[in-house]
Structure 1
Amino acid sequence: MTASAKTPAASLAHLGPDRQDIAILTSQERIRLAREDAWIGYSAAKSGLQRLEDLLDHPKSPRMPNILVVGDSGNGKTSLIGRFRDLHPPIIKPDGRGAQPVVVMTMPAEPSEARFWSDLIAAMGVARNDSGTVQAKMSQAMLLLQSLHCRMLIIDEIHNVLNGNLPRQKQLLAMLKNLGSRLMIPIVVVGTEAAKRTLQTDPQLANRFEAIVLPKWELGKEFVSLLASFERVLPLLERSNLAGRELAVLLFSLSKGSIGQLTRVLRRAAVEAIRSGDERITPEILAGLDAIDLGGV
């Protein structure tokens, strides 16, 4: 099925400017578009981005401020740091040298200093060397961070530190404290509520981190506004009125206050709306979604 190229532009007023050309796309092309990640700039996310921008521009000092981004699983943390990284991608400078202002890595699930340095090196696009000594890996990572003019290090899944025994936890936290001080760059750590407990095991370190909290959504004006934002990016030819009371209540129930789950529900519903020819998300389409299958689209 191919979308009609004669669809009046006025009928696409529910879409944002960058979606106004979807009428010329085939159904399959719009299904692919529905499955793509799209940045939804709700108020908490915009505020978080601004705080990260402010931190990136902070003058160098031996005691740099840092940020902890904390929230439940599926509540927008990874999307937030992904958006920030996209706004500050690696670049090639006029002299031909590379620069990576924002480096993003994930704390290893089985944390150790050796794995940390190996993963950090890989996050900067350099082949891993798992056989080297901890000291050699640390020296290589520090040199890379400096040569790439890194201005911020972001560490996702920081709560994985708790997977190690107590001595290893203390060792990793001390390493983070020293890393920020030596390079004089801000460090952003990201994780669930357990991340707070991770930092609190070192009171000195905990005092250096200001929190950005991404709470679970409640059924109110902010959630309705979020749905209206989704309506503007989902590539459907008809208006669904996601922010209307009936669909808003249904979507809140299905998402359980998680923006990650809401995104999965809306992607799957949009795909079904295109395939069925309805071209809008309806209560019937939502009722027909298989809850077990909502982990993917």
Structure 2
Amino acid sequence: MTMMFPIPKFHLSVFTDEERRELIPLMSDKERRRMSKFVLVEHEQFEDTIEFIRERLHFASNYPEPHDDDHREIQAEGWIGGVIGAPRTGKSFIAQYYTSLHPPVFKQNGGWKVPVAYIEARSDWDRKEFAKQIYWQTKATALPRLTIASMNSTVTSRLRDMGVRLLIIDDAQFLFDTTYAKAHTHKSMLHHIANAMQCNILLVGTEEVENAIYAEDRLRGRGDFPSPDVLVGFDPKDPDGRIDFREFLAEIEKRLPFQAVSDLNRRDWIDDFFEACGGSRGRAMNYIVAAAYAAITDRSPCIQLHHLQQAAKDRTPSGKAMIPFVGRRKKKENGNGL
């Protein structure tokens, strides 16, 4: 049986000096690694995107509390909207964090309610697997018989019965970047769900998602695809981009579970971070998380240069001459010692 997608427990709070001295030494390595991996900074793009989802697609402020079983909820519009950005710009964490704010709840009259359902698309999905994932992510313990003729209506009924008001589909480009037959059936299911006007749909992914919706009038017609500004990384050629990147690293630093300051945003490291990740938040975190894990294992009071160097060595392609935080790669000697 497929389980529900595990929404992470994100870490957003800043450590005070007192907490660094007294609390962090008492934490387990496992808990410190979790905090490092799922650290979140509520930067401007993050806050703008959360506000967009909440106020202009989910309409969360218009709903009663999840445990309230009366029928005062407004009817959803059946809109299809999006959060669009390049890979590793923080889209998935934003979508998962928003989902974590609206967890499944057990109703007073019995049974579960899932106000926000989150699924992560894959390139190997067909329509049946798409339908199965919607069931699993709405706390199903068994699957009904899913026939081709009734699949769209069966899934739509499931969303209605579970009280889903927002269906979030992450990596949604995989619904469209596939064979014509699969893409056609995926679009058919999205159209059927939207037409029922029971929930809105948020498609999270790359620009291929936006292009696919704009090319399909029946899907674009469901709200004209509202979306916030495209999520982008930091521009190394823009002075403001460099400043913003350093501020982001400083905010990450405040949340990392270490007793001492690592100075991740130091001026002489910024070019190395840009060399490593090109200004991508997600790729920068790949290096920081790996370095944090190594520092925790070493019982180090903070992330040190050699932790970042090892993370960079592990992640720099063999054909690349420059290794971030290390310098130019040494040429290997040939058999004659030359």
TM superposition score normalised by structure 1: 0.82
- Which amino acid counterpart does residue 199 of structure 2 have in structure 1? I
Does the alignment pair 1:109 with 2:123? yes
Report sequence identity in percent. Answer: 20
Give yes or no for contact 1:27–1:274 (8 Å, CA) kept in 2: no
Pick aligned residue for 2:244 from 222, 226, 232: 222
Pick aligned residue for 2:95 from 73, 81, 84: 81
Deviations 1:60-98, CA, capped at 9 Å, x for gaps: 568544321111222211101100000000011222231
Corresponding residue for residue 39 of structure 1: 40
Q: Distance in 2 between matches of 1:169 and 1:64?
A: 20
Q: Distance in 1 between matches of 2:203 and 2:220?
A: 11
C-alpha deviation, 1:131, in angstroms: 5.9
Does the alignment pair 1:162 with 2:167? no
Task: Name the count of aligned residue pairs.
Answer: 281
TM superposition score normalised by structure 2: 0.73
Q: Distance in 1 between matches of 2:35 and 2:15?
A: 13
Deviations 1:230-281, CA, capped at 9 Å, x for gaps: 1111111111222221233322322222222211211121233344454233
Corresponding residue for residue 242 of structure 1: 264
- Which amino acid counterpart does residue 217 of structure 1 have in structure 2? F
Corresponding residue for residue 15 of structure 2: 15
Deviations 1:165-212, CA, capped at 9 Å, x for gaps: 335433432331231121332110011122222213203423521223
- Relative to structure 1, the CA distance from residue 113 to residue 128 in structure 2 (aligned partners, 3 Å threshold; closer, same or farther) is farther
- Which amino acid counterpart does residue 140 of structure 2 have in structure 1? V
Q: Distance in 2 between matches of 1:16 and 1:206?
A: 47
Corresponding residue for residue 201 of structure 1: 215
- Relative to structure 1, the CA distance from residue 273 to residue 165 in structure 2 (aligned partners, 3 Å threshold; closer, same or farther) is closer
Does the alignment pair 1:71 with 2:85? yes
SS of the residue corresponding to residue 226 of structure 2 reads strand
* Runs of at least 4 residues off by over 6 Å: none
Q: Distance in 2 between matches of 1:126 and 1:23?
A: 39
Q: Distance in 2 between matches of 1:113 and 1:26?
A: 45
Does the alignment pair 1:190 with 2:190? no
- Which amino acid counterpart does residue 39 of structure 1 have in structure 2? L
Corresponding residue for residue 49 of structure 1: 50
For structure 1, list consecutive stretches of 5 or more residues without a partner in the other structure.
1-13
Does the alignment pair 1:210 with 2:226? yes
- Which amino acid counterpart does residue 270 of structure 1 have in structure 2? A
Q: Distance in 1 between matches of 2:178 and 2:27?
A: 51
C-alpha deviation, 1:33, in angstroms: 4.3
- Which amino acid counterpart does residue 267 of structure 2 have in structure 1? R
